[in-house]
Chain A
Amino acid sequence: MENARDVPCPFCGLGCDDLALRADGPAFAVEQGACPRSATGFGRAAPSAQAYIAGNPVELPQAVDQAVTLLRAARLPMVTGLATDVAGSRSALRLAQRAQAAMDHLHGSSGFQGVLAMQSSGGMSTTLSELRNRAQMVLLLGSNGSDVAPRLAERFLDGRGGAFLDGRPRDVILIGPHAPAETDNAGIRWQHIACDTETVPYAIAALRCLLEERALDERAANELPLTELAELAERMRAIDYGAVVWGPSGLGADGDLLVEALQTLVQSLNAEKRWGGLALAGNESATTFEEVCLWSTGYAGRLRYRGDQVLYEPRLIDAKRMLASGESDCMVWIGGLEGDHLPGRPGVPAIVLTSNPEALDWQPDVLIPIGVPGIDHAGTSVRSDHVVSLPLRKLRDSDLPAAADVLDRIIAGLPVPETTSC
């Protein structure tokens, strides 16, 4: 293990690649560019590569054989977790096709809000560098930024880093229950328009009415922070380039409708000025799987294989629901970048590929430790904005296989579905 500079970090969707690491025993200390997520991720020593069947230590080939046996017996396996790199995602898709399984990323529920909104209205979007350099104002919803992406303020919101902002501070306005985690400085002026999660969609609708000078009813005036929203609308009109940013997991139920409202708001703002939307997606490599899944199947996830067909059922295919109901009768968990997002014990046979086996508080039918992309092996991960990918590096020698290696071994043991051509 050696010290390393300009290291790409795969532990959230922000895709920082300016980390300096110091070899520290079996793990790394983040000397520069640290945040809680990277400190934990790089600070974890490689676990033992020991595989288990129902708690009993076995050699890897035995564990693979047992996984094959469970998958051959299953009617509808669920491939989930999917916190992996491009190579792992490719292999996961091949496994799902071979096993005639369903697939759903561990963040499927919140991650799919954006997809559903896209398939309803589309949108207008921006990326992290554009936001950093151009956005004079940022509206932030469903997150205070740092709860999803710890270095968001430091790297992207601080106006002093904006190439076209002439050193002016950036206005960041939080709408909803999330209060700013930081205080004003020379680069950021925070504002909080407080309301509860259920009220946020109404606040956005009111904001749009105010921007478009449409009438609001009395109830809105009584139940919404209307004075602050009216003042915000006035300021928004003067903005040349703004961004609307949201944390998908903090939008509440019917988040897809809220994302749609945000996207159509952004679309309409572009009639006069320039605005872009951006989801703080990509934690636990959700956007990585989404991209590979799209070019492989035509869909962003939440699908199942049936023969040669791929069935896309975004509201029905939900890993948590299907495993709880028994509709899915075998779980394949693919991790590597899952951090502490470990699966609970399902009521069905479970095959778990994880880089964090020691944190698992139950014994899966098959447990295979795997490496972390970007530490134990090289790979590619995709940033929140779907545009930029990181060249993940191998930083230490370990005997942990990559998810793709284990999956390819399992695939080799599964029969080709009869209906699959070539």
Chain B
Amino acid sequence: MLTLLRGGTVYDPIQGIKGETRDIWIRDGRIVADPGADARPDETHDLSGKVVMAGGVDMHTHVGGGKVNIARTLLPPELRAEAEDSLRGPVPTAWETGIEYARMGYTAVFEPALLPVNARLAHQEMGDIPIMDKGAFAMLGNDDFLLKLLAADAPQAQINDYVSWILRATRSMAIKVVNPGGINAFKFNQRKMDLDETNPHYGVTARRILETLSAAVQELGVPKPLHVHTCNLGIPGNVDTTLATMAATGGIPVHLTHLQFHSYGTEGDMGFSSAAAPIAEYINSHDNISVDVGQVMFGQTCTISADTMLQYAAHQHANPKRWLAADLECEAGCGVVPFKYRDKSFVNALQWSIGLELFLAVNDPWRVVLTTDHPNGASFTSYPHLIRLLMDRSFRNDRLSSLHVEAQASTHLASMEREYDLYEIAIVTRAAPARLLGLTERGNLAPGSAADIAVYTPGDDWEAVFRDASLVFKDGKLVVRDGKLVDISWGVTHWMETEHDAGIETALDEHFRKHYAMSLSNYPVRDDDIEADGRGKLVAHACRRER
């Protein structure tokens, strides 16, 4: 089957194509070079006047794992319907997740907080998300095994073997650390942990965990830098911790996630202020840092985090008044707290401004990924609105002028002139996340790549443009037309294949016998757990050894 997408205005930052009129040819699910004048396409779409991009890639969205089901339980849909941005609400089903993402022209989603022992079930849940490719980041850094290794001054090579073993056992794409050592410390009743504080049982600092895991990721050749949810999330004054975290890895690439929640100062009458400027300045002068924003939007949502320590601390803000925190299997934890962001709240309005300040003050779009930390800052369905806020300064300032008055006075957002163009939007929603993840055949439109393609009809209202893609192709199949589902496909599960010495299983086996309620041999995800339903498919990516 040969398909021709004729004459669209193409934005493909990976290839440096910046709004040029191009034809795109698709054969059997892949983009191919122009097959020449004799080629007769089976199907032709005239895309003159349309904007063409690769399918969107969301590298940080909570779409799978037990914590998402807890959120669904706490917020049954009659409550979710109160959400401002979508009737689906902030915690959609697996099916709705795929449909709503596809509608916006997204074709891949990555769950950034996979509890390793929950991997099998989380993959099976994500397997029920239609259209999308998917993948997961395995969480380490609060598991007793790693902390035990660090406390015993285990060699870096052994840590690397363990990290590699986890990537394979959980079929994950990357490694994430959440409140390094703090979730574990909370189990020993410690309520606060900063970068240089120690876990009470293991005597290990958060800094040491960051250094060790970021080095492991680099030495194993995992393309995606360590995904870091650092200490002190949401706490006024956490800017110091955030800056120290960015410096902690000594130049090793590191990705700070939902940065908005970590960019707070303590100035002003309320003791809460924006620290976006010094953080953006640091990022602008340090190429090893990448971030995603975790933008806040107003309305009902549900916060979902592995950071039990700070989610417990936040429980008094639960709205509605019900929340759950859990200690999970000597690996990590989770806290699920429903929350309503209000535009007339000083704090919430300033959080909204801080997110946008970060987007606008970080100069290099390749290192700022567009996220709301779905559903923590807002549902992913608010992305079109967020895109308009970035592209349209007068729209942004109109919205700003309706917020809490003192919050308006506490941000210099109104004076920020930058407006994202379509090329930059293509970077922060596709090209940058795909490149950061190490996906070479997604997030771009080069011949040889998968034909995951979104087509938009430009207009004055960029929110409307990006809410309903005109056409979406997934692996070459037309699945969405004018924002409506027209066909179904099932994406693949990406994972990163690294190498390790199998000897690590000896130490793991001993640890499993002591700590786990499960045998080591039953822990790893089996290929059939993902593929036996006849729809799922695993795609292994080769790591790149840099030394």
A residues near B (Cβ < 8 Å) are: 6, 8, 15, 17-18, 86-87, 90, 115, 118-130, 132-134, 155-156, 163-164, 240-241, 267, 270, 273-274, 276, 291, 294-300, 312, 378, 380, 382, 385-391, 421-422
A-B contact pairs, 12 of them (CB 8 A): A87-B533, A118-B73, A120-B322, A122-B323, A125-B324, A291-B121, A294-B72, A299-B72, A382-B121, A386-B66, A391-B529, A422-B485
CB contact under 8 A between A380 and B120, given known A115-B73, A129-B517, A388-B517: yes
CB of B488 within 8 A of CB of A390, answer no
Contact of B329 among A86, A130, A164, A391 (CB under 8 A): A130
CB of B522 within 8 A of CB of A17, answer yes
A122 to B73, CA, bound (A): 9
Q: Name the A residues within 8 Å of B95 (CB-CB).
A: 296
CB of B189 within 8 A of CB of A240, answer yes
Q: How far is the CB of A48 from the nearest CB of chain B, in Å?
A: 26
CB of B532 within 8 A of CB of A87, answer yes
CB of B72 within 8 A of CB of A298, answer yes
CB of B518 within 8 A of CB of A388, answer yes
Q: Does B364 contact A (CB under 8 A)?
A: no
Q: How far is the CB of B331 from the nearest CB of chain A, in Å?
A: 9
B residues near A (Cβ < 8 Å) are: 64, 66, 68-70, 72-74, 76-78, 80, 91-95, 115, 117-118, 120-121, 124-125, 128, 144, 186-189, 201, 312, 315, 318, 321-330, 336, 485-488, 514-519, 521-522, 526, 528-529, 532-533
CB of A119 within 8 A of CB of B74, answer yes
CB of B324 within 8 A of CB of A124, answer yes
Contact of A127 among B70, B186, B327 (CB under 8 A): B327
Contact of B187 among A274, A299, A421 (CB under 8 A): A274
A385 to B187, CA, bound (A): 17
A8 to B73, CA, bound (A): 28
CB of B517 within 8 A of CB of A126, answer no
Q: How far is the CB of B540 from the nearest CB of chain A, in Å?
A: 19
Please give 17 more A-B residue pairs, beta carbons under 8 A apart, in addition to A270-B325, A296-B95.
Answer: A15-B517, A115-B73, A119-B74, A119-B76, A120-B322, A122-B324, A124-B326, A163-B515, A241-B189, A276-B326, A291-B121, A295-B72, A380-B120, A380-B124, A388-B329, A389-B120, A391-B529
Q: Name the A residues within 8 Å of B528 (CB-CB).
A: 378
Q: Which 7 A-B pairs have the closest CB atoms?
A: A122-B322, A294-B69, A389-B121, A122-B323, A125-B326, A122-B324, A6-B519
Q: Name the A residues within 8 Å of B78 (CB-CB).
A: 312
Q: Name the A residues within 8 Å of B68 (CB-CB).
A: 295
CB of B329 within 8 A of CB of A118, answer no
A267 to B337, CA, bound (A): 13
Q: How far is the CB of A28 from the nearest CB of chain B, in Å?
A: 17
CB contact under 8 A between A421 and B485, given known A115-B73, A122-B318, A387-B329: yes
The closest CB in chain A to the CB of B518 belongs to A17
Q: Name the A residues within 8 Å of B515 (CB-CB).
A: 129, 133, 163
Contact of B330 among A133, A274, A390 (CB under 8 A): A133
A6 to B524, CA, bound (A): 13
Q: How far is the CB of A299 from the nearest CB of chain B, in Å?
A: 6
Q: How far is the CB of B113 from the nearest CB of chain A, in Å?
A: 13
CB contact under 8 A between A295 and B69, given known A126-B326, A276-B327, A391-B526: yes
CB of A422 within 8 A of CB of B488, answer yes
The closest CB in chain B to the CB of A121 belongs to B322
Q: Name the A residues within 8 Å of B324 (CB-CB).
A: 118, 122-125
A385 to B516, CA, bound (A): 14
CB contact under 8 A between A129 and B330, given known A134-B187, A298-B91: yes
Q: Name the B residues within 8 Å of A115 (CB-CB).
A: 73
The closest CB in chain A to the CB of B144 belongs to A163
A18 to B521, CA, bound (A): 10
A6 to B512, CA, bound (A): 13
CB of B322 within 8 A of CB of A298, answer no
CB contact under 8 A between A312 and B77, given known A118-B322, A378-B532: yes
CB of B488 within 8 A of CB of A380, answer no
A311 to B526, CA, bound (A): 35
Among B73, B318, B532, max chain A CB count under 10 A is at B73
A118 to B336, CA, bound (A): 11
A8 to B125, CA, bound (A): 21
Q: How far is the CB of A45 from the nearest CB of chain B, in Å?
A: 25
CB of A388 within 8 A of CB of B118, answer yes
A18 to B64, CA, bound (A): 28
Q: How far is the CB of B327 from the nearest CB of chain A, in Å?
A: 5
A17 to B322, CA, bound (A): 34
Contact of A274 among B189, B322, B328, B517 (CB under 8 A): B189
CB of A155 within 8 A of CB of B517, answer yes
A276 to B330, CA, bound (A): 14
Q: How far is the CB of B525 from the nearest CB of chain A, in Å?
A: 8
Q: How far is the CB of B92 from the nearest CB of chain A, in Å?
A: 8
Contact of B73 among A130, A134, A300 (CB under 8 A): A300
The closest CB in chain B to the CB of A126 belongs to B327
A130 to B522, CA, bound (A): 19
A44 to B508, CA, bound (A): 35
Q: Name the B residues within 8 Å of A274 (CB-CB).
A: 186-189, 327
Q: Name the A residues within 8 Å of B186 (CB-CB).
A: 274
CB of A129 within 8 A of CB of B329, answer yes
CB of B124 within 8 A of CB of A86, answer yes
Q: Name the B residues within 8 Å of A382 (CB-CB).
A: 121
Q: How far is the CB of A191 from the nearest CB of chain B, in Å?
A: 24
Q: Name the B residues within 8 Å of A267 (CB-CB).
A: 315
CB of B201 within 8 A of CB of A164, answer yes
Q: Name the A residues within 8 Å of B117 (CB-CB).
A: 387-388
CB of A130 within 8 A of CB of B121, answer no
CB of A8 within 8 A of CB of B327, answer no
Q: Name the A residues within 8 Å of B326 (CB-CB).
A: 124-127, 276
Contact of A294 among B73, B115, B120 (CB under 8 A): B73
Q: Name the A residues within 8 Å of B486 (CB-CB).
A: 422
The closest CB in chain B to the CB of A274 belongs to B189
CB of A380 within 8 A of CB of B529, answer yes
A422 to B479, CA, bound (A): 11
A274 to B183, CA, bound (A): 13
CB of B69 within 8 A of CB of A124, answer no
Q: Name the A residues within 8 Å of B124 (CB-CB).
A: 86, 380, 389
A390 to B327, CA, bound (A): 19
Q: Name the A residues within 8 Å of B327 (CB-CB).
A: 125-127, 130, 134, 274, 276
CB contact under 8 A between A391 and B517, given known A17-B522, A122-B324, A125-B324: no
CB of B74 within 8 A of CB of A122, answer yes
A134 to B330, CA, bound (A): 10
A190 to B518, CA, bound (A): 26
A296 to B98, CA, bound (A): 12
The closest CB in chain B to the CB of A390 belongs to B522
CB contact under 8 A between A130 and B187, given known A123-B324, A295-B93, A422-B485: yes
The closest CB in chain B to the CB of A91 belongs to B533
Q: How far is the CB of B493 from the nearest CB of chain A, in Å?
A: 15
Q: Name the B residues within 8 Å of A291 (CB-CB).
A: 66, 69, 121, 125
The closest CB in chain A to the CB of B67 belongs to A387
A235 to B87, CA, bound (A): 49
Q: How far is the CB of B355 from the nearest CB of chain A, in Å?
A: 27
Q: Name the A residues within 8 Å of B322 (CB-CB).
A: 118-122
Q: Name the B residues within 8 Å of A422 (CB-CB).
A: 485-488
Q: How far is the CB of A369 from the nearest CB of chain B, in Å?
A: 22
Contact of A270 among B74, B77, B312, B532 (CB under 8 A): B312
Q: How far is the CB of A107 from the nearest CB of chain B, in Å?
A: 17
A300 to B516, CA, bound (A): 27
CB of B91 within 8 A of CB of A18, answer no
Contact of A129 among B72, B315, B516 (CB under 8 A): B516
Q: How far is the CB of B489 from the nearest CB of chain A, in Å?
A: 12
CB of A380 within 8 A of CB of B77, answer no
CB of A387 within 8 A of CB of B94, answer no
A18 to B516, CA, bound (A): 12
CB of B518 within 8 A of CB of A295, answer no
The closest CB in chain B to the CB of A300 belongs to B73
CB of B76 within 8 A of CB of A124, answer no
Q: How far is the CB of A255 from the nearest CB of chain B, in Å?
A: 17
